[in-house]
Structure 1
Amino acid sequence: MKDGKSLSNTEFIYTYVRHTDEYDLCRLEMRSFFGFDKQSNVLKSDIEIHPSRSPFMKERLDVLYQGDHLEAILEQVKHLQLEGATFKVASLNTFALDTTEKIGHPERRSIEREVGMCIQGDPDFNNPEVVFGVVQLDDQWYFGKLVESEAVWFHHQKKPHMYSTALSTRVARAVANIAVPHPADVRAIDPCCGIGTVLVEGLSMGINIVGRDINPLVVLGSRKNIAYFGLEGEVNLGPIADVVEDYDVAIIDMPYNLFTHITPEAQLEILKEARRFVKKLVVVTIETIDHMVDEAGFRIVDRCIAKKGLFLRQVLVCE
């Protein structure tokens, strides 16, 4: 099954960990991935997303069995065919999931042992070939293969070239997902890419994205950042007005007055130029630019606030 596509009746359970300031951004990413969001920290969907793509996902459970009580799970796992693979079982109830309270450590270990003893195979707690998960959500129990998230964005914080005003890697990764939730056959561009924070996150997730900037120094820095992480990506030098190809989506972290001395007229021109070559645009801005978006010929179809303390950024999804 390819990431982002529902090709079977498999149900996936995603758990989330996010800071209060990230709540709004996380829900916009949910809507982009799944078409809906949840106020809680657990979500069910038949759409498969690798949890490492999201800076907010903790894990994904690929549900194999479901029951009204743990005993029903124990009966079903007896029929698992591991074909010689080693395994371990992990309980997901390590913190409160929506209205389901956290299960204490001793009880979680007991549940893991009970389930593991019913599986025909060789347990390996250190290097298992298959990791299974078991979770209680309200009055239901679920068991399946567990896919844990790797904080790829965290490793990208240590770039050789940095801007103090650049998006954080967590925000950049979420914005890339909001713009391109399902990358197959999607061509994206960041025409004001700066030091390449969005490019690095997008390329690391297999998104077909190119960059452009008018500053030769940041173009060079962006190229070096991409290469530093073993990625390959195109970053061109030149203004957005020089873009001649069409793309499916553009991501623009809008330059703003405090550091770039850009005028409102220049901001509007960026949006108008983007309208030439994309149908979908995701804009990150510290100012309210709704009137500019409308004047450029776009319509805001979704939005959120990305917070960092008292500093607020708006993320606008435009079509």
Structure 2
Amino acid sequence: MRRRLHLNTPEFIYTYAYPEEEVSLCHLEMRALFGFVPETSLLKSTTEIDPSRSPFIRERIDVMYEGDKLEDILEQVEQIELHGDTFKVIFVKTNDLTGDDRIEYDERRAIEREMGMHIEGEADVNKPDHWFGLVAMGGRWYFGRYLKSTAVWLHHMKKPRSYSIALSTRVARAAANIAVPKPEGVRAIDPCCGIGTVMIEALSMGIDIIGRDINPLIARGARENIAHFGYNAPVTLGDIADITEHYDVAIVDMPYNHFSKATSETQRSILKHARRIADKVVIISVESMNEMIAESELTELDRGVVRKAGFTRQIIVCG
């Protein structure tokens, strides 16, 4: 029997879910946050991420125990001390069990009950003090603290100011993660911030970001939206060409040719100045931007694509 009672390096297991049209974006975010893309909808890493940061992460288990068999876990959970607190055990539905090894609903509930019987304390299925998760992955069983994602980005859809071509909050949230996977000490700017969709997602994750827009009505709308959700960040009025400060990263949601008056020359200027003011540039565009990126002397590092109803958005990471 192989098992680990106490982990020297904390490990975390995440479950993922995404629509087919966003698989490329999800994988791009995985590479940014964790450095790799798993073969299944389960991801194990020593990197600790709040599952609510990502529009794709569904839950996280902070691994406490692991073993080759369920019996190994049953033995180990007897060590848990809750000091009178209540608990609940969740058998994580997302796993890599296949064929005859698959465990259906009734058996999952039975395993949860049996696991609970080995934990000293009172089970509470409604409002427990502690949540635990059990998951099968890679031929092994893992048990630990359970944290479910909260879809913060859904709440942000209800902005007081909006327009039809604005970036979806899901894509905006992923773009913020891709641009700033580790927020501590990072200064970001959204120099074409529009109504503040990216900024709101970034601010909700503790990212230090400021905004700017050339359109006074749009900039005013961004300020109103940001304040509506209780966040505080400056949104200045002006052209990206006038920015003199330097930032770690710029997130540029490009004006769209068929929706705005922006010309290709305007887009080239935006890219040129984004390269000037930031070490890293994440571009969101309805076009591939390949030639313009090369002309601006940016280097493409990674890319994801979102396709929906014949409409495509590119998320391009440049350095």
Q: Same fold (TM over 0.5)?
A: yes
- Report the counterpart of residue 30 of structure 1 in structure 2: 30
Is the 8 Å Cα contact of residues 42 and 94 (structure 2) preserved in structure 1? no
Q: How far apart are the structure 2 equivalents of 1:97 and 1:190?
A: 39
Q: Tell me the residue number matched to 2:106.
A: 106
2:237 equivalent in structure 1: 237
Query: Structure 1 102/50 Cα, relative in aligned 2: closer, same or farther at 3 Å?
Result: farther
Q: What is the CA deviation profile of residues 94-136 of structure 1, one whole-angstrom value per residue up to 9, with x for unaligned ones?
A: 2454758753111111110111110111211111111000112
1:112-162 alpha-carbon deviations (Å, 9 max, x no partner): 011111011121111111100011224211100001000000111111111
Partner of 1:280: 280
Q: Which residue of 2 aligns with 1:117?
A: 117
- Contact map agreement 2:190 2:251 (CA 8 A) in 1: yes
Identify the residue that residue 140 of structure 2 maps to in structure 1: 140
Take 1:84 and 1:234, find their aligned partners in 2: how far apart are those partners? 47
Partner of 1:260 in structure 2?
A: 260
Secondary structure of the 2:303 match is: strand
| One-letter amino acid matched to 1:130 | H
Q: What is aligned with 1:289?
A: 289
Partner of 2:70: 70
Q: 1:14 matched to which residue of 2? A: 14
Structure 1 residue identity aligned to 2:228: Y
Task: Tell me the residue number matched to 1:213.
Answer: 213
In the alignment, residue 37 of structure 1 is paired with which amino acid?
Answer: V
- Kindly indicate whether the alpha-carbon contact (under 8 Å) linking 1:240 and 1:273 is maintained by their aligned counterparts in 2: yes
CA distance in 1, matches of 2:165, 2:121: 52
The secondary structure found in structure 2 opposite 1:269 is helix
Q: Say whether the 8 Å CA contact 2:95–2:137 is kept in structure 1.
A: no
1:309 positional shift:
2.4
What TM-score, normalized to structure 2? 0.95
Report the secondary structure of 1:206's partner residue: coil
Instruction: Evaluate the alpha carbon distance shift between residue 35 and residue 51 of structure 1 in structure 2; reply closer, same or farther with a 3 A threshold.
Output: same
1:163 partner amino acid = Y
Give the match for residue 313 of structure 1.
313
Quote the Cα distance in structure 2 between the aligned partners of 1:141 and 1:39. Answer: 18
Q: 1:208 to 1:99 in 2, by over 3 A?
A: farther
Corresponding position of 2:3: none
Structure-1 residue corresponding to 2:228: 228
Deviation at 1:259, TM superposition (A): 1.5
Name the stretch that deviates more: 183-192 or 281-290. Answer: 281-290
* Aligned partner of residue 49 in structure 2, secondary structure: coil
Q: Answer whether contact 2:95 2:135 (CA < 8 A) is retained.
A: no
Q: Which amino acid aligns with 1:85?
A: D
Q: Is the 8 A contact 2:82 2:120 kept in 1?
A: yes
CA distance in 1 between partners of 2:64 and 2:224 (Å): 44
Contact 2:15 / 2:94 at 8 angstroms: preserved in 1?
no
Unaligned runs of 5+ in 2: 1-6
2:166 is matched with 166
Distance 1:181 1:17, change over 3 A: same
- For structure 1, the residue ranges without an aligned partner over 5 or more in a row are 1-6
Determine the C-alpha separation between the residues in 2 that align with 1:236 and 1:85: 50
8 Å CA contact 2:306, 2:312 repeated in 1 = yes
Q: Structure 1, residues 268-317: CA drift from partner, whole Å, max 9, x if none? A: 00011111111100001111211211211210010011112211111110
| Kept in 1: contact 2:303–2:316 (CA 8 A) | yes
Q: In 2, are the aligned partners of 1:99 and 1:138 still within 8 Å (CA)?
A: no
Give the whole-Å Cα distance in 1 for the aligned partners of 2:237 and 2:313: 26
Structure 1, residues 9-50: CA drift from partner, whole Å, max 9, x if none? Answer: 111100011000010000000000011112421111000001
Given that 1:161 and 1:225 are in contact with CA atoms closer than 8 Å, whether structure 2 keeps it comes out as yes
**119-128 or 184-193: which moved more?**
119-128
Given that 2:41 and 2:94 are in contact with CA atoms closer than 8 Å, whether structure 1 keeps it comes out as no
Which residue of structure 1 aligns with residue 192 of structure 2? 192
Q: Which runs of 4+ in 1 moved over 6 A?
A: none
2 CA distance for matches of 1:71 and 1:234? 55
State the alpha-carbon separation in 1 of the partners of residues 309 and 10 from structure 2. Answer: 39
Q: Counterpart of 2:254 in structure 1: which amino acid?
A: M
| Maintained 8 Å contact 2:42/2:137 | no
Aligned identity (percent) is 55
What do residues 218-261 of structure 1 show as CA deviations (whole Å, max 9, x unaligned)?
11110111111111111111110121111000000110211112
Q: Hey, what does 1:83 align to over in structure 2? A: 83
Which residue pairs with 1:48 in the alignment?
Answer: 48
Q: Does 1:178 align with 2:178?
A: yes
Q: CA RMSD in A?
A: 1.5
C-alpha distance in 1, partners of 2:156/2:266? Answer: 31
Contact 1:95–1:102 at 8 Å: present in 2 too?
no
Q: State how far apart, in whole Å, the 2-side matches of 1:98 and 1:29 are.
A: 25
From the two aligned structures, give the one with the greater strand fraction.
2
